Structure 1
């Protein structure tokens, strides 16, 4: 039960089929599997042993796939890292994750050199050549880590077809995914081979992936949403990936039309960009059989507007890094419910509980907890956080949810984002839904700030579509749709909202900025 073996099976079954398209490149399953095998052999030649940790700091590219699957085949544990992280963020993850080797883009070599003193245990820097203009004037001799540097292609070339991979247990740690660290330093969720394989298999089956699918892979591969839904699940299913170096509405429309894409997966912000773009037309996405949304809750108004414009339905799901990630999804064989994350996927259980861990009846709001073969084994080197998250076989997500009579779940909000105004509960998402429904609102973020009279007050940040929109008009619009205690005490207009690299709106970062004023 592991991804590397699944790729070998796919290559044996349909070796000549395209595994991916990337810019002007195409690779068959047989070619991809051979590259993975040679890279695994090349890692062994460098002294990488089973259980060693390898950081993967690479953007969407064939090198990411070969690096990931090659390291897994060599028995190593992979730590995917966002290439846009600051030196401090990157240094912390490499230190905490005990990385022995780093696979990274050549443009990041100066950054790696800057933090190298804090990383004496890193023995190898494997450099992916991007032919970026910024690297032309730099030579390896300029950097203190040059003696530890090898090119990705040289490691690949030194690999042997006769390489015999080590035996890997399904309970061995395959990947350590560092969470966003909204409550402090990032925590490394340890995902086993069983976790990743089972979730890729189950979500692929649930969404009916097949070798006829062509899946747009525009989300960042280092993020668990893309990793499982747009990379692992397609490869297990024999599908073809259409890989984008980065998300661009124009490129998505063009590539979807050219390759007759059948599946698109994105976060709500990506759908918003596609919807707001003047370049997209219904015929561009006419071949899609399925649109997938995850990462954060999609405003119902955006979902309905997108579907009306492009004539394709969006199915929302739910997941988190600690669950590899998918736990629930709107079913394809039953009605899709707007605003719902759907039902439990196969082999995974979800339930809503109170503070005592007792399951709540349909309609009541409580914490969502998850159980299944996809749930992590724990946080790396952080037993106290592991004990708080994993209780009696269940993963406590920290998300507030409710379930309806038909078994569909609805995320109400993050438990830590709940606003209490004069003793009344206000869920930011509920207020955001109303704001998004206004025709002149592009984006919105709502959170609570301290208030001397009511404990907390509701604050809203909005990106307006039309400069004629006034704050007073927007508040009047909310007043007719929300109880008084849920109304924003203040509305501020911005040109854009802060987002992470997956496009998720950083509500807490915005709140932190406000509190520091």
Structure 2
């Protein structure tokens, strides 16, 4: 079984039920199934076949849903990419990922025009209309541009999908590494289907649920928990183009959602924006938190204010992503990421891979049907991460005597800005390209609004260089949330006897 086949079954059993709501417009499962089939047919007519790589660079919208399931239906490998990325950031992923077609929004076409010459392997740019009324007929990419609406109209409802094996790669998620270029985690049809099913079973997500999809759909948290899990069970997805507390409260009143999934900063914004007199999340039975640790004080205050359960969990792209959640059938433990979800096993080990005693700290490792096939075209990195059937997360954790896990520290040096991962090495690489920078190190600092903010320490070889100069340089190469919020100049960076930069020493100096 796979996600696309399951959608067909759900549409057959519940044709008139609402699959998703977007901008207050309802789309039934029968309508979604038809659009997915026609888009799959259209891709086939354009020459795409099983195994071809198709990038999905679109915001939260029906286009993303139809594009994802339509590409999966022909057996294509989908590569979701953050539309906030700059052309500089997208170029590596598109080239390394051997992408042959890109589905994107018309307002983003200019980004690809800037790098099109470097992407000779891309045959088509499928443009989705946003209402911006852009004229693309005379565009430099016009010979490769295709209108999503037009090719969808030409699709055939009689299209028959090729046979898909559960071990075939379905999605490649690029996750930046602290030691170099982004790595593409290959997730199979089995990985994605099993994790969506197991999460739905564990959290009792069913056909009566209406789930708010406020997280970005290109991120695996939203992809599995707020999109695939409800769709495979006949639930309804309420698509938010972007998160806004005011809009969440409006949607709650207008569409009576039952589940909300978000990162801790979203919960903080909702709490601070709530009306003091009203319960603005009336009807929501469950809130799901992930992405980073939720402060216990925030969790308790949020639950008290809105009278709703918050289940905190843990996951990573390489595990499709969920491995743990706080259970709903027994006491939840604030500060814990919960226990094993259905069919997934977590354990804490020492440097030799041996399980440590209960309560001791070690590395969290995972195994189950959700664990990735490996990193795309990176056999050495795959071998270092997948050992004897276990996925080594790189996170330090401990387990209590009731099987609840606690993250002690995140992956080394990772910075989480508003739920988005920022890897210091990526920002450092950009700054090193500036001729005025001799040395640089990037760390995170606590931020009341976004959880963490990016800070860079720079040793300049040009005394005239200013903080604004470097920030503008970064803006041209990095997504907004990766741009340093603060840049400090030093005469030299602290190092140990082997020449390794002492990041923790620098973090301690941040005020």
TM-score by length of 1: 0.81
Partner of 1:142: 139
Partner of 2:470: none
Partner of 1:322: 318
Partner of 2:167: 171
1:268 pairs with 258, 264, 268, which one? 264
Partner of 2:509: none
Partner of 1:93: 93
User: For 1:56, what is the secondary structure of its paired residue?
Assistant: strand
How far residue 349 of structure 1 moved from its aligned partner, in angstroms, is: 0.4
Partner of 2:124: 124
Total equivalences in the alignment: 442
2:297 pairs with 283, 295, 301, which one? 301
How far residue 229 of structure 1 moved from its aligned partner, in angstroms, is: 0.3
How many angstroms apart in 2 are the aligned matches of 1:344 and 1:80? 27
How many angstroms apart in 2 are the aligned matches of 1:332 and 1:126? 42
1:282–1:310 CA contact under 8 A, matched in 2: no
How far residue 24 of structure 1 moved from its aligned partner, in angstroms, is: 3.0
1:293–1:316 CA contact under 8 A, matched in 2: yes
Partner of 1:380: 376
Partner of 1:188: 184
TM-score by length of 2: 0.82
Structure 1 residues 280 and 113: alpha-carbon distance in aligned structure 2, compared to 1, 3 A threshold: farther
Partner of 1:400: 396
**Runs of 5+ in structure 2 lacking a partner?**
417-421, 425-442, 451-473, 494-505, 507-511
Partner of 1:48: 48
Residue 218 in structure 1 maps to residue 214 in structure 2: yes
How many angstroms apart in 1 are the aligned matches of 2:337 and 2:480? 17
Partner of 1:343: 339
1:208 pairs with 204, 208, 230, which one? 204
User: For 1:253, what is the secondary structure of its paired residue?
Assistant: helix
How many angstroms apart in 1 are the aligned matches of 2:16 and 2:277? 33
1:105–1:128 CA contact under 8 A, matched in 2: yes
2:79–2:173 CA contact under 8 A, matched in 1: yes
How many angstroms apart in 1 are the aligned matches of 2:399 and 2:240? 36
Give the superposed CA RMSD: 2.7
Residue 353 in structure 1 maps to residue 344 in structure 2: no
User: For 1:187, what is the secondary structure of its paired residue?
Assistant: strand
Structure 1 residues 250 and 279: alpha-carbon distance in aligned structure 2, compared to 1, 3 A threshold: farther
How many angstroms apart in 2 are the aligned matches of 1:504 and 1:195? 31
How many angstroms apart in 1 are the aligned matches of 2:266 and 2:329? 26
How far residue 180 of structure 1 moved from its aligned partner, in angstroms, is: 3.5
Residue 256 in structure 1 maps to residue 265 in structure 2: no
Deviations 1:61-87 (A, max 9, x none): 011000000000011000000000011
Partner of 1:472: none
How many angstroms apart in 2 are the aligned matches of 1:124 and 1:28? 29
User: For 1:284, what is the secondary structure of its paired residue?
Assistant: coil
Deviations 1:180-228 (A, max 9, x none): 3443211100000000000000000100011110101110000000000
Partner of 2:385: 389
2:58–2:103 CA contact under 8 A, matched in 1: yes
